[in-house]
Structure 1
Amino acid sequence: MTHGSLIWQTEKDCKMQTDQPEQKRQRRKDARPSEILEAGLALFAERGFAATRLEDVAKRAGIAKGTVYLYFSSKESLFEAALKDRMVSTMEGVSELTSSFTGSTEELFRLVLGRIYGQMIDGDAGVLLRILIGEGDRFPDLIALYREIALAKGMTTMKGILKRAEARGELRVPADEIDPRMIVAPIAILAIGGKIFGAQSPGDRDEFLERHLDLVLRGLLSANAGR
Structure 2
Amino acid sequence: MPSLPSLCEITAQARAKRERRKDARPGELLEAALELFVEKGFAATRAEEVAKLAGVSKGTLFLYFSSKEELFKAVVRENISGRFTEWSAELEAFEGNSTELLRHCMTAWWERVGSTKASGISKLMMSEAGNFPELAAFYQEEVVLPGNDLIRRVLQRGVDSGEFRQLDVEYGVYLLLAPMMFLALWRHSIGLCTAHDATLDPVAYLNTHIDNLLLGLRVRPEAGS
TM-score bucket (shorter structure): 0.7 to 0.9
Give the TM-score normalised by structure 2: 0.84
Q: Cα distance 1:217–1:15, how it changes in 2: closer, same or farther (>3 A)? A: farther
Is the 1:120–1:191 Cα contact (8 Å) retained in structure 2?
no
Secondary structure, in 3 states, of the residue corresponding to 1:51?
coil
Q: Take 1:28 and 1:44, find their aligned partners in 2: how far apart are those partners? A: 24
How many residues matched?
Answer: 215
**Residue 87 of structure 1: aligned partner:** 80
Amino acid at match of 1:155: N
Q: Take 2:160 and 2:18, find their aligned partners in 1: how far apart are those partners? A: 52
**Residue 213 of structure 1: aligned partner:** 210
Amino acid at match of 1:219: G
Q: Take 1:182 and 1:155, find their aligned partners in 2: how far apart are those partners? A: 11
Residue 204 (structure 1) aligned to one of 170, 190, 201? 201
**Deviates most, 178-187 or 135-144:** 178-187
> Displacement of 1:175 after TM fit?
6.5
**Residue 147 of structure 2: aligned partner:** 154
Whether 2:82 is the aligned partner of 1:65: answer: no
**Residue 29 of structure 2: aligned partner:** 36
Q: Cα distance 1:70–1:113, how it changes in 2: closer, same or farther (>3 A)? A: same
Is the 1:90–1:119 Cα contact (8 Å) retained in structure 2?
no
| Cα RMSD (Å) | 2.4
Whether 2:164 is the aligned partner of 1:167: answer: no
Q: Cα distance 1:223–1:98, how it changes in 2: closer, same or farther (>3 A)? A: farther
> Displacement of 1:16 after TM fit?
4.1
Q: Take 2:60 and 2:157, find their aligned partners in 1: how far apart are those partners? A: 46
**Deviates most, 55-64 or 178-187:** 178-187
Is the 2:26–2:64 Cα contact (8 Å) retained in structure 1?
yes
**Deviates most, 177-186 or 196-205:** 196-205
Any residues of structure 2 matched to 1:91-130 within 5 Å, and which?
A: 91-130=84-123
> Displacement of 1:13 after TM fit?
5.3
List gaps (5 residues or longer) in structure 1. Answer: 1-8
List gaps (5 residues or longer) in structure 2. Answer: none
Secondary structure, in 3 states, of the residue corresponding to 1:173?
coil
**Deviates most, 12-21 or 100-109:** 12-21
Residues 168-213 of structure 1: per-residue CA shift (max 9 Å, x gap): 2222115746532321221111111121112486861121111121
Whether 2:184 is the aligned partner of 1:187: answer: no
Amino acid at match of 1:218: L
Give the TM-score normalised by structure 1: 0.84
**Residue 145 of structure 1: aligned partner:** 138
Q: Cα distance 1:167–1:24, how it changes in 2: closer, same or farther (>3 A)? A: farther
**Deviates most, 191-200 or 151-160:** 191-200
Q: Cα distance 1:179–1:124, how it changes in 2: closer, same or farther (>3 A)? A: same
> Displacement of 1:114 after TM fit?
1.3
Q: Take 2:96 and 2:122, find their aligned partners in 1: how far apart are those partners? A: 32
> Displacement of 1:99 after TM fit?
0.8
Q: Take 1:165 and 1:28, find their aligned partners in 2: how far apart are those partners? A: 48
Q: Take 1:212 and 1:15, find their aligned partners in 2: how far apart are those partners? A: 64
